[in-house]
Structure 1
Amino acid sequence: MTLRLLFCKSHIYIHKSKDSKDNLNGFIIITNERDSQGQDAVLSWISATALDAQQMNWLFKKEMVLVGDEKGEEPIKNVKMNSQILNIAKSGSMGSFSISLSSLYSIEFRNPSPSGWWYGSMVIHSLSALEDSTLPVLFFHDNLCPSTKRRQAILKKSFDPFADTGGIYWGGIDLRNKIGELVDLQRTYVDKSVWLINATLDDLRNFSTNNLTKANVKGEGQDDDGSIISDELWSKWEATKWSVMSQIANATSKTGSFVSSLVKKHPIVKLVEQNRENRYVKQMLENPRVQEVQDDFDSAKIYLAKWALGVKEEADRYQLNNQLNETYRKLLTNDLGIDFTGDTNFSPLELNKAMQRSFPLTRPKWESFFDSQGRLAITVTEVKDYIFHGGVEDMELRKEVWLFLFEVYPWDSSKDEREQILATLNESYQEYKNKWLFKVSSFDDEEEMEREESYWNDQVFRIEKDVLRNDRNVDIYHNNTEDGKPAVTEESTNTERTEEGHTQEVAPEQEDSSDHWTIYNPHLLKLRDILKTYNIYNDNLGYVQGMCDLLSPIYYIFQDETLSFWCFVKFMDRMERNFLRDQSGIRDQMLTMAELTTLMLPQLSEHLKKCDSSNLFFCFRMLLVWFKREFPFKDVCSIWEIFLTDYYSSQFQLFFMLAILQKNSQPILQNLNQFDQVIKYFNDLHNTMDWNDLMIRSELLFIRFQKLMNFMDRREEQHGNVQGEDIVTVSSDGGDTTTAATSGVELHEVDSNGEEQPVTNRVLPNHSQHLQLLLQKKIIIQREPPRTHDSVK
């Protein structure tokens, strides 16, 4: 067993009494075994009186090595630990102690007095109340500590005394930063000196923590302990500004009706409106000048709708980015019609939980979920809560987390079991790949072989055509060259910025060359091979356009052929229903979406029916590939991992779609009235939506839907299934249902005067199977039936 010394700082005292002569001097160290996780690290305090001169000199030397050289030499990350010294700490000699970081609940870092009246100190709180009583307060005598003084000299030389500290530098900051590298460390808002270790989501929500890695601000905006002072006047001014802008947007939407009325006063438009069915008028409409006027009229309405929504989007985004939670809360309350009363409304706790999405899953937090054998030590639901409400911090961590989300690795597996699973998957993948790589055939009949060969060639052509068009704005797919880098030619090149923010030189396109269909890029080649192998694995389904869209983000994350294949296989278990030849799977989702819109957004549903858009055709592409083409590439990864948790429902993507409809309902209601206008409006939403805001709305809409369904069930139990017995009341702004009743009931809406008015031709779905399935977390699987000669054309 090889031990590593990760941190060391001297002149850390225990003040036993007010008399300084009673102070106990010592070293604070952090140690760990080689190749073990940060959660296993041990924090120790060792009394100097328990060490001999040689051991003390060894610790002093290593302390300086770990802090770095004053001339700019980089500090060493760790050194081999002297096991004898660590044994002294474990023995408890002269007050020494050791405790693992995973056993800690929180640490208080109390800043020193700027004037030097008191030392900085730390108070350790463990998960065990019994252990807390034995852990002393540790005081940092920075005026004596050589590593702290060297660090101060380095900071002074760089003219950045506040670097990496968020305030005045002292020795406790070095320790805090090191602990933050090893475990998940979060600062609390309630007491800014308290930092939680591996906190649960409930702890984070209760303490309202700030992120450890929060960007530094200028010194004049900080108090003595480095915390940010909120400028209330500034916050109020900004909140007021965006509130006014939001009102302007609403007013503009309403102004759209006024502008439309002005346009309608044009004599040609008036004639058209009054005599639209007259054959002479129809003939006149074919005149190019008349069409131009009509097109201008339609374009103006769409423009106004988009402008109004754009201002509201900017207001919403500002509230989220600047954490003006109370203002954003009011905005949500207004948009969703929340009043916290009635059986189908939200509690303040539910609203707060949905809004609180500022705790992403970090690597230290992820590692804290597993025990020494690599088995999950908390419930799967707790893990999914983190992912659903905060997402995964970065692409590197997704390589591990997504293997569990796709259930390539079982949630209850150990580290050794996962290694065995990976070896088996590698072998199995190669077997499937060899079947097409070496053209292994199971057909004896020559005619059958020819038919299969023709089918296979057609599949390969479809795959390669889609792969070549796949996400070419993403860095690893951008250049179709053998090394994936820009081709160097004598011709001039131009500079292009990829979606990931990288700037690169791009050679001129050569689409006219004879081999423009040839794939050279190594990553595109792997996409092709994975899709061809899946075609062997799932021979009945074949390749359908859109599958490459689903594979692309998976491969981007793993950049490993085998892992990407098996994640794709698991993904297709739930997504195959979208690609069935008879389209029954996607049709069921569209029907569910229509019923859900009817129930949750009745006014919008009625308006879309008048626009000949009641089939929600504009949702088709979004649902088919899970909004892959509506959001930036990295946002898609964040959206997908939330869907994959099945935290509320295995069809949560429908509530995300519902949130898009709800967010855009007012511009549509007030400005659009034609099928083509609605289609164009939604097609133009590409890369304009804030997915984080939509996810908050999705969660709240699901909670409302779940309560509504439960309410309907309770009413039926109480009163029986009597046709037309009760009335369902809905908000007049296209928001949400506020009260509900049993099946087969008439719908009413509340108008602007607060009076109920009947909504014509609307009946609440009678125990719709589609809506009931939205409440289940189990994945809905639909398979393509066995392929026949006639099934593939």
Structure 2
Amino acid sequence: MQYARWKEECSQMFPVVGSGRFITAPVITEDGQPIQDPLVLLETNPDKGQALPPDDNGGANVSGNGLETVKDKKAIQWMLTLHQIGLDVVRTDRTLVFYEKLENLSKLWDILAVYAWIDTDVGYCQGMSDLCSPMIILLEDEADAFWCFERLMRRLRGNFRCTDSSVGVEAQLSNLAAITQVIDPKLHQHLETLGGGDYLFAFRMLMVLFRREFSFGDSLYLWEMMWALEYDPDLFLLYEEPESASEKAEGSKGKAKSRRQCGKYERENMKNGAKNSEAPLPISIFLVASVLKDKSTKLLQEARGLDDVVKILNDITGNLDARKACTGAMKLHKKYLKKAKKT
């Protein structure tokens, strides 16, 4: 198995991988020298949690537990991320009983460590643990969980491409601003006045696909909804509110066309990767717009600065209703298409 080979490769470089443990402290410096920190030694070799003597050349020689001098640049870069992965692992879904077991925490750490090794372009970034966690919980086999995560990252790795001048979700945030300006111009103007016209306060929602704004179960419901629409637009019916008698009287032809458009809308977005300005917008953006619309009154009345906007949105963490958000997203999508067509 390819995953097993990669994991063994990582274990050869750093034996903690696959050991049932993980680290939360740096293990090497940026020039590849091992760090002789008591916490590092305890985590990497719990049976010998004490400082070890230097080698004949005066450098730290901790062979046998992975803390040797590292010269390969790729290996150095990878090992520099391992403790950050560990810090994020212990914070991920920490309210779930599942992660009270060390073996489950180490499994999450192993998968993220192996992924960081094979994805030399992106490596590991904060937030990836949120995306990987459901795979660990839902799939007993570690290799299966890895490949599901790897497949998900094919969709989302662009979100984690950040530079000094741009963030990975910048295009999505720009589209969110355009949508909000059309469907709720009053809120958009208010946010611009507060200096939030770049919509960076919504960064996390798009980055990790609502894992922190919704409960564990509801976030998976949203994922299923978004992905199901790409392959079967008729599933759109599952996420719509019941029709009124008057709506039924209008016939189903228009709705069927709308569903086909939404399905095509998502499929085309996957094909072209939203590389051009006319690319279809992913439904995830309308989900964020739905959340903002739902909190519009509170934002207009109580937000007097960007800190207030962030606080109001942070207060909803774990308390949103997925079905309500989906229904709102579909309505906004329909409303936006109508208004955009007119303009």
TM range (shorter): 0.5 to 0.7
Aligned counterpart, 1:471: 93
Shift of 1:563: 1.0
Shift of 1:448: 8.2
Divergent runs of 4+, >4 A? none
What is the distance in 2 between the residues matched to 1:585 and 1:457? 24
Amino acid at match of 2:114: T
Q: Percent identity?
A: 30
Q: Residues 670 and 467 (structure 1 numbering): CA distance in 2 closer, same or farther, change over 3 Å?
A: closer
What is the distance in 2 between the residues matched to 1:581 and 1:613? 19
1:613 aligns with 2:192: no
Amino acid at match of 1:537: I
Aligned counterpart, 1:428: 2
Q: Quick check: 1:610–1:673 contact (8 Å CA) kept in 2?
A: no
Q: Deviations over 1:723-746 (max 9, x none)?
A: xxxxxxxxxxxxxxxxx33xxxxx
Shift of 1:689: 1.9
Q: What pairs up with 1:254-293 in 2 under 5 angstroms?
A: none
Aligned counterpart, 2:276: none
Amino acid at match of 1:468: V
In structure 1, which of residues 666, 673, 678 is the aligned counterpart of residue 309 of structure 2?
Answer: 678
Query: Which ranges in structure 2 are unaligned for 5 or more consecutive residues?
Result: 15-68, 234-261, 270-281
Q: What pairs up with 1:138-537 in 2 under 5 angstroms?
A: 427-439=1-13, 449-477=71-99, 479=100, 484=101, 521-537=102-118
Amino acid at match of 2:12: F
In structure 2, which of residues 122, 133, 143 is the aligned counterpart of residue 552 of structure 1?
Answer: 133
In structure 1, which of residues 582, 594, 599 is the aligned counterpart of residue 177 of structure 2?
Answer: 594
Amino acid at match of 1:695: C
What is the distance in 1 between the residues matched to 2:94 and 2:155? 26
Q: Deviations over 1:418-473 (max 9, x none)?
A: xxxxxxxxx12212222212239xxxxxx983434432221211111211222121
What is the distance in 2 between the residues matched to 1:653 and 1:552? 20
Q: Deviations over 1:169-226 (max 9, x none)?
A: xxxxxxxxxxxxxxxxxxxxxxxxxxxxxxxxxxxxxxxxxxxxxxxxxxxxxxxxxx
Q: Deviations over 1:640-675 (max 9, x none)?
A: 111223353352110000001111112222343333
Q: Which range is displaced more, 665-674 or 687-696? A: 665-674
Shift of 1:632: 1.2
Amino acid at match of 1:577: G
In structure 2, which of residues 226, 230, 254 is the aligned counterpart of residue 643 of structure 1?
Answer: 226
Shift of 1:706: 2.7
Q: Quick check: 2:78–2:117 contact (8 Å CA) kept in 1?
A: no
In structure 1, which of residues 657, 661, 677 is the aligned counterpart of residue 288 of structure 2?
Answer: 657
Q: Quick check: 2:181–2:188 contact (8 Å CA) kept in 1?
A: yes
SS of 1:629's equivalent in the other structure is: coil
SS of 1:575's equivalent in the other structure is: helix
What is the distance in 2 between the residues matched to 1:472 and 1:667? 29
Aligned counterpart, 1:706: 337
Q: Residues 670 and 653 (structure 1 numbering): CA distance in 2 closer, same or farther, change over 3 Å?
A: same
Q: Quick check: 2:70–2:76 contact (8 Å CA) kept in 1?
A: no
SS of 1:438's equivalent in the other structure is: helix
Amino acid at match of 2:161: L
Shift of 1:604: 1.0
SS of 2:126's equivalent in the other structure is: coil
What is the distance in 2 between the residues matched to 1:679 and 1:470? 21
What is the distance in 2 between the residues matched to 1:456 and 1:548? 16
Q: Quick check: 2:182–2:339 contact (8 Å CA) kept in 1?
A: no
Q: Quick check: 1:593–1:654 contact (8 Å CA) kept in 2?
A: yes
SS of 2:222's equivalent in the other structure is: helix
Q: Quick check: 1:612–1:675 contact (8 Å CA) kept in 2?
A: yes
Q: Residues 671 and 539 (structure 1 numbering): CA distance in 2 closer, same or farther, change over 3 Å?
A: closer
Aligned counterpart, 1:540: 121
Q: Deviations over 1:121-146 (max 9, x none)?
A: xxxxxxxxxxxxxxxxxxxxxxxxxx
Q: Residues 538 and 453 (structure 1 numbering): CA distance in 2 closer, same or farther, change over 3 Å?
A: closer
Shift of 1:568: 0.6
Amino acid at match of 1:462: Q
Aligned counterpart, 1:624: 207
SS of 2:13's equivalent in the other structure is: coil
What is the distance in 2 between the residues matched to 1:683 and 1:691? 16
Amino acid at match of 1:703: K
Shift of 1:619: 0.7
How many residues of Structure 1 are paired with residues of Structure 2 in the alignment?
Answer: 239
Shift of 1:676: 2.4
Aligned counterpart, 1:572: 153
TM-score between the two structures when normalised by the length of structure 2: 0.65
Query: Which ranges in structure 1 are unaligned for 5 or more consecutive residues?
Result: 1-426, 441-446, 485-520, 712-739, 742-793
Shift of 1:699: 0.8
Aligned counterpart, 2:237: none
Q: What pairs up with 1:13-28 in 2 under 5 angstroms?
A: none
Q: Quick check: 1:655–1:702 contact (8 Å CA) kept in 2?
A: yes
Shift of 1:584: 4.2
TM-score between the two structures when normalised by the length of structure 1: 0.29
